[in-house]
Amino acid sequence: MTGNLIIISAPSGTGKTTILKQIMARLDGLAFSVSHTTRPPRSGEEDGRDYHFVDKEGFVALRDDHGFLEWAEVHGNFYGTSRKEVADRQAMGQDVLLDIDIQGARQVRQAAPEAISIFIAPPSWQEQEKRLKGRGTDSAETIALRLANARAEMADVDFYDFVVVNDELETAARMLEAVILAMRAKTRRDHNGAPLSLPEGVS
C-alpha cells in the first residue's frame, strides 16, 4: 500500500520544527522529506538530516531535470522537494511529511490532489514576533520581512484542510497527531500506518 502525502505549512517562528520532531518520535510509519536548499546551514544543522545543502547551480540543474515535486524561492533562497525521495518513501508504505510553504503546497496539490494539508498558526502576532526575536538568529530587517510574509501566508489559510494553533506545544502536537491518525483510519491503516487486517467479508 502506497504511503500518504502530508503537507505541513507554517510561518517562520511558529514552532513547526519542534512539533514535527515530537510527531516523528510518537508515530511509526512516518518519513520526513528532507528538502534541498541553497541557503547556508544554521548552527547545529547537518547536511542530509535537516536539509540537502546545494549551490544555486546544482539546484537549478535538478529543477530543470524535473527532479522536484515542488520548489519555491523564499527570502532569496531556493527550496525544493525531491520527487524521487518522496516516491521511494511512499513505495515503502511510509506517510511522507512535506515541510513546505503555500507556493509548494499549491504545486503538490496539483500533482497529488489526494495529499492532505495542515497549517500551523501562531496564537497572535505579538507572540509570533516574540518567538522570532527570541531565536536570536535574524536581524530586525529580516524579522520584519518574516512577519510580513507570515501575514501573507495567513491570508491563504483557507487553502488548507486543517489548521492547528500552536498556543501550547503539547496541545498542538496532540492535535496534529490526531489529524494524522484520522487520515490513516480513512485510508484503512492502523495507528502505525500499516494496512488494516479486517475480518473476512469486510472491505
Write out the DSSP string of 56-86: HHHHHHHHHTT-EEEEEEETTEEEEEEHHHH
Fold of 5-186: Rossmann fold (3.40.50)
**What is the CB-side half-sphere exposure of residue 155 using CA atoms within 13 A?**
7
Mutual angle of helices 16-26 and 169-186, in 10-degree steps: 50
Domain boundary assignment for the chain: 5-186
Q: How confident is the model at residue 203 (pLDDT cuts 50, 70, 90)?
A: low
pLDDT in tens, 44-89: 999 999 899 999 999 999 999 999 999 988 878 999 999 999 999 9
Average pLDDT across the chain, whole number: 89
Q: How confident is the model at residue 164 (pLDDT cuts 50, 70, 90)?
A: very high
What is the pLDDT at residue 136? 66
